[in-house]
Structure 1
Amino acid sequence: MIEKVRNAVEKYHMANTEESVLCCLSGGADSVALLLCLHEIFPQVRACHINHQLRGEESLRDECYCVEICQKLGVPIEVRRVDAKEYAQKLGKSVEEGARILRYQIFEEMGCDKIATAHSLSDCIETAIFNFARGTGITGLASIPPVRGKIIRPLIECSRAEIEEFLSERGVDWVTDSTNLTDDYTRNRIRHNVVPQLRQINTSLEKTMSGTLDNLREDAAFIKGMADELFESAYSGGGLDCEAIAAAHSALSGRAVMRLLKEAGADTSREMVKRVRELCTTGGRISAGGGVEAYTSCGKLFAVKPNIGTQIEQISVILYGDGNYKIFEKNILLNITHNLQYDSNIHKKVTNFIADYGKIKGEMVARGKLPGDTIKLIGRGFTSSVKKLAQAYAPPHERAKMVVITDDDGLIFVEGYGFAERVAVDNSTKTVLHCKIS
Structure 2
Amino acid sequence: MEKYHMAHKSERLLVGLSGGADSVALLLCLYELGYDICACHVNHCIRGEEADRDQHFCEELCRGLGIEITVKRVDVPAFCRENPVSEEEGARLLRYKALQEIGADKICTAHNLDDCLETTLFNLARGSGLKGIASIPPVRENIIRPLIECSRADIESFLAEKGQSFVTDSTNLLDEYSRNKLRHKVVPVLREINPSLMETFAKTLGFLREDSAYLERLADEAFEKVTCGDGYSCKMIRELDYPVRRRVIMRILAKYDIEVGQDKIEIIEKLVNQGGKANVKANCFAYTKSGVLYVFTEKNDEDIQQDEVMIEPESVVDWQGRSVSFKLVIIDGKFENVNKKFANSCLDYDKIKGVIVLRKRRAGDRVTLVNRQHSSDVRVLMKQGFPVHKRDSAVILADDEGIVLAENFGAADRVRIDSSTRRVLIFEVIGE
Q: TM-score higher than 0.5 here?
A: yes
Number of the residue aligned with 1:66: 58
Q: How does 1:186-205 map to 2 (within 5 A)?
A: 186-205=178-197
Number of the residue aligned with 1:371: 362
Q: Is the 8 A contact 1:358 1:429 kept in 2?
A: no
Q: Distance in 2 between matches of 1:187 and 1:24?
A: 20
Name the stretch that deviates more: 26-35 or 296-305. Answer: 296-305
User: 1:172 Cα shift?
Assistant: 0.5
Give the letter for the 1:77 counterpart: I
Say which of 23, 26, 32 aligns to 1:34.
26
Q: Taking structure 1 as reference, are residues 42 and 115 closer, same or farther at Cα in structure 2, changes over 3 Å only?
A: farther
User: 1:153 Cα shift?
Assistant: 0.6
| Residue 146 of structure 2 corresponds to residue 142 of structure 1 | no
SS at match of 1:10: coil
Q: Which sections of structure 2, spanning at least 5 residues, go unmatched?
A: none
Q: Taking structure 1 as reference, are residues 385 and 129 closer, same or farther at Cα in structure 2, changes over 3 Å only?
A: same
Number of the residue aligned with 1:20: 12
Say which of 167, 171, 177 aligns to 1:175.
167
Q: How large is the Cα RMSD of the aligned pairs?
A: 3.8
Number of the residue aligned with 1:250: 242
Q: Is the 8 A contact 1:242 1:281 kept in 2?
A: yes
| Residue 226 of structure 2 corresponds to residue 234 of structure 1 | yes
Q: After superposition, what is the alpha-carbon deviation per residue over 1:207-266, rounded to whole angstroms, capped at 9, x for unaligned?
A: 222222222222222222222222223224432122222222222222222222223233
SS at match of 2:158: helix
Q: After superposition, what is the alpha-carbon deviation per residue over 1:195-215, rounded to whole angstroms, capped at 9, x for unaligned?
A: 222223333322222222222
User: 1:354 Cα shift?
Assistant: 6.2
Number of the residue aligned with 1:4: none
Number of the residue aligned with 2:42: 50
Q: Distance in 1 between matches of 2:357 and 2:128?
A: 49
Number of the residue aligned with 1:103: 95
Q: Taking structure 1 as reference, are residues 274 and 332 closer, same or farther at Cα in structure 2, changes over 3 Å only?
A: farther
| Residue 253 of structure 2 corresponds to residue 264 of structure 1 | no
Q: Is the 8 A contact 1:361 1:409 kept in 2?
A: no
Q: Is the 8 A contact 1:405 1:414 kept in 2?
A: yes
Q: Distance in 2 between matches of 1:20 and 1:319?
A: 49
Give the letter for the 1:69 counterpart: L
User: 1:143 Cα shift?
Assistant: 0.5
Number of the residue aligned with 1:311: 304
Between Structure 1 and Structure 2, how many residues are aligned? 416
Q: Distance in 2 between matches of 1:224 and 1:280?
A: 21
Q: Distance in 1 between matches of 2:341 and 2:414?
A: 13
TM-score by length of 2: 0.82
User: 1:122 Cα shift?
Assistant: 0.9
User: 1:180 Cα shift?
Assistant: 1.3
Q: Is the 8 A contact 1:375 1:411 kept in 2?
A: yes
Q: How does 1:289-308 map to 2 (within 5 A)?
A: 289-307=281-299
Give the letter for the 1:371 counterpart: R
SS at match of 1:277: helix
SS at match of 2:281: coil
Q: Is the 8 A contact 2:370 2:413 kept in 1?
A: yes
Q: How does 1:196-215 map to 2 (within 5 A)?
A: 196-215=188-207
Q: Distance in 1 between matches of 2:216 and 2:326?
A: 32
Number of the residue aligned with 2:104: 112
Q: Distance in 2 between matches of 1:330 and 1:237?
A: 19
User: 1:419 Cα shift?
Assistant: 5.0
Q: Is the 8 A contact 1:361 1:407 kept in 2?
A: no
User: 1:418 Cα shift?
Assistant: 4.4
SS at match of 1:48: strand
User: 1:125 Cα shift?
Assistant: 1.2
User: 1:72 Cα shift?
Assistant: 1.3
Q: Is the 8 A contact 2:17 2:41 kept in 1?
A: yes
Number of the residue aligned with 1:401: 393
TM-score by length of 1: 0.81
Q: Is the 8 A contact 2:326 2:426 kept in 1?
A: no
| Residue 112 of structure 2 corresponds to residue 123 of structure 1 | no
Number of the residue aligned with 2:84: 92
Q: Distance in 2 between matches of 1:355 and 1:113?
A: 44
Q: Taking structure 1 as reference, are residues 147 and 387 closer, same or farther at Cα in structure 2, changes over 3 Å only?
A: same
| Residue 385 of structure 2 corresponds to residue 384 of structure 1 | no
Q: Is the 8 A contact 1:245 1:280 kept in 2?
A: yes
Q: Is the 8 A contact 1:311 1:400 kept in 2?
A: no
Q: Is the 8 A contact 2:383 2:391 kept in 1?
A: yes
Name the stretch that deviates more: 276-285 or 408-417. Answer: 408-417
User: 1:63 Cα shift?
Assistant: 1.2
Q: Distance in 1 between matches of 2:111 and 2:139?
A: 11
Q: Distance in 2 between matches of 1:232 and 1:110?
A: 34
Q: Distance in 2 between matches of 1:49 and 1:382?
A: 73
Give the letter for the 2:304 counterpart: Q
SS at match of 1:26: coil
Q: Taking structure 1 as reference, are residues 98 and 357 closer, same or farther at Cα in structure 2, changes over 3 Å only?
A: closer
SS at match of 1:288: strand
Q: Distance in 1 between matches of 2:15 and 2:55?
A: 14
SS at match of 1:115: strand
Q: After superposition, what is the alpha-carbon deviation per residue over 1:164-193, rounded to whole angstroms, capped at 9, x for unaligned?
A: 000000000111112212222221121122
Q: Distance in 2 between matches of 1:275 and 1:65?
A: 51
Q: How does 1:220-231 map to 2 (within 5 A)?
A: 220-231=212-223
User: 1:27 Cα shift?
Assistant: 0.7
